[in-house]
């Protein structure tokens, strides 16, 4: 019922928006990706800095049924509407720039096991109708996206993604990051970040219960004190960045350990940072099925894959390619004990070779300024 009402709300706003005239050199960015590698937010920062001749408005969170009319007028007046999720525009003459929010590793749309046929048909029509330019990084990206949302090949342009421009340099130093998150200094520090995917869709109350109790690995052998000691012994620090929904399940402020820190959106919003702007200060990534690892390949640093819920995830939603152990460019672990064993030897030549292989396969626009390429492609459509 809620989804039906929301669609009616959008239709009403579109109708009202048709009475607002479009203005050249106005851009609106509908950002649904928060601050965790948001193409929308980082492209917004780029436009503000590099193209002050354009008036750019950031609308977030998106989608939302609580936007003021002033925001809707901005959306209706924009020549360019940039989206990170489903394509959207009000006027047919507007240009929708679709940035999406991650390289498709997980099944979605018509390829997913947990979607409805009617919804998939509706979404495919929206992509066909509204998307004018879809940012791409490779042939593989285009193949995977089109398999999920049935989008036409001619809509893609290989510009790369804005978030990748912000990976290799950070607005804060490594020393400052350690101080902000761990409250200490350590010249020998090696910093890792753990970013799992959204595990709520596994539809397993036991997993959510474990996470709510602080077991962020959701592993049977989780012992946070032992994990902290293992990290401390090696001068290693682990930043834990969970999905906002999972962070709400427990109070991270009540979990205080010297070598573990929880990164929440409050810190990122307060300091006007996106997560990707901090990754240059990290030495390794740990994830499960999150597509962040494709982007992390830009840094050519070790990646560890936690697959303790692989079977459940594959059954509930599924992955677009596999077998999982053969396609991920790093060691696969299934428990805290497995993870700790990897800490003494984070990188091996075989994993370096795999990273380079997957980087070349997933990014055919290397060593370029992705924001510049996107801006050129976007504005070229209206010349």
46-60, 214-228, 292-306: range with lowest mean pLDDT: 214-228
Task: Give whichever of 4-13, 108-117, 214-223, 327-336 has the largest mean pLDDT.
Answer: 327-336
Predicted local confidence at residue 246, as pLDDT = 76
Which candidate, 6, 93, 150, places its Cα nearest to that of 382?
93
Instruction: Report pLDDT digits (tens) over 146-195.
Output: 999 999 999 999 999 999 999 989 999 999 999 999 999 999 999 999 99
* CATH 3.40.50.11820, the chain: domain bounds: 12-160+366-380
Task: Give whichever of 16-20, 143-147, 347-351 has the largest mean pLDDT.
Answer: 143-147
Residues in the chain: 383
Specify the CATH number for 12-160+366-380; select among 3.40.50.11820, 3.20.20.10, 3.90.1150.10, 3.30.565.10: 3.40.50.11820
Predicted local confidence at residue 200, as pLDDT = 63
Judged against a pLDDT cut of 80, whether residue 141 lies above it is answered with yes
Predicted local confidence at residue 8, as pLDDT = 87
Average pLDDT, integer, range 101-129: 90
How far, in Å, CA of 218 to CA of 209, rounded? 9
Q: For residue 275, is the peptide bond before it cis, meaning its omega torsion is within 30 degrees of 0? A: no
12-21, 43-52, 149-158, 208-217: range with lowest mean pLDDT: 208-217
CATH number of the structural domain 168-362: 3.40.50.12580
- E-only strand ranges, the chain: 23-30, 55-59, 78-83, 95-98, 133-136, 156-158, 190-195, 236-240, 260-262, 284-287, 303-306, 332-333
Judged against a pLDDT cut of 80, whether residue 336 lies above it is answered with yes
Judged against a pLDDT cut of 80, whether residue 374 lies above it is answered with yes
How far, in Å, CA of 349 to CA of 250, rounded? 39
Judged against a pLDDT cut of 70, whether residue 252 lies above it is answered with no
- Looking at the chain, the whole-number percentage of residues with pLDDT higher than 90 is 69
Indicate the average pLDDT of the chain. 91
* CATH 3.40.50.12580, the chain: domain bounds: 168-362
């Amino acid at each position: 019922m809620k989804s039906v009402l929301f669609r009616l709300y959008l239709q009403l706003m579109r109708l009202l928006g048709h009475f607002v005239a479009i203005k050249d050199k106005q851009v609106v960015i509908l950002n649904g990706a928060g601050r965790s590698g948001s193409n929308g937010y980082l492209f917004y920062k780029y436009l503000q800095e590099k193209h002050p001749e354009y008036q750019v408005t950031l609308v977030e969170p998106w989608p939302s049924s609580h936007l003021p009319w002033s925001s809707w007028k901005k959306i209706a007046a924009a020549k360019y509407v940039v989206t990170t999720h489903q394509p959207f525009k009000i006027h047919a003459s507007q240009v929708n720039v679709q940035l999406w929010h991650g390289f498709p590793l997980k099944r979605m749309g018509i390829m997913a096991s947990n979607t409805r046929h009617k919804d998939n048909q509706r979404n495919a029509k929206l992509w066909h109708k509204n998307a004018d330019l879809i940012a791409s990084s490779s042939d593989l990206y285009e193949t995977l996206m089109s398999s999920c949302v049935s989008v036409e090949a001619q809509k893609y342009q290989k510009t790369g993604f804005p978030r990748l421009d912000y990976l290799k340099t950070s607005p804060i130093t490594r020393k400052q990051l350690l101080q902000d998150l761990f409250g200490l200094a350590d010249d020998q520090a090696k910093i890792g970040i753990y970013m799992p995917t959204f595990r709520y869709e596994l539809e397993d109350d036991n997993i959510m219960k474990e996470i709510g109790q602080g077991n962020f690995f959701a592993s049977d052998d989780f012992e946070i004190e032992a994990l902290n000691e293992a990290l401390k012994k090696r001068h290693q620090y682990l930043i834990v960045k969970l999905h906002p929904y999972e962070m709400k399940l427990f109070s991270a402020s009540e979990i205080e350990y010297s070598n573990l820190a929880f990164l929440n959106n409050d810190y990122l919003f307060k300091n006007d940072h996106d997560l990707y702007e901090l990754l240059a200060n990290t030495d390794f990534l740990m994830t499960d099925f999150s597509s962040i690892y494709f982007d992390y390949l830009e840094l050519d640093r070790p990646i560890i894959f936690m697959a303790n819920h692989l079977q459940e995830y594959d059954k509930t939603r599924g992955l677009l390619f596999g077998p999982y152990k053969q396609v991920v460019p790093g060691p696969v672990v299934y428990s805290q004990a497995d993870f700790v064993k990897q800490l003494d030897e984070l990188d091996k030549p075989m994993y370096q070779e795999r990273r380079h292989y997957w980087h070349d396969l997933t990014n055919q626009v290397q060593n370029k300024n992705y924001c510049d390429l996107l801006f050129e492609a976007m504005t070229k459509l209206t010349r």
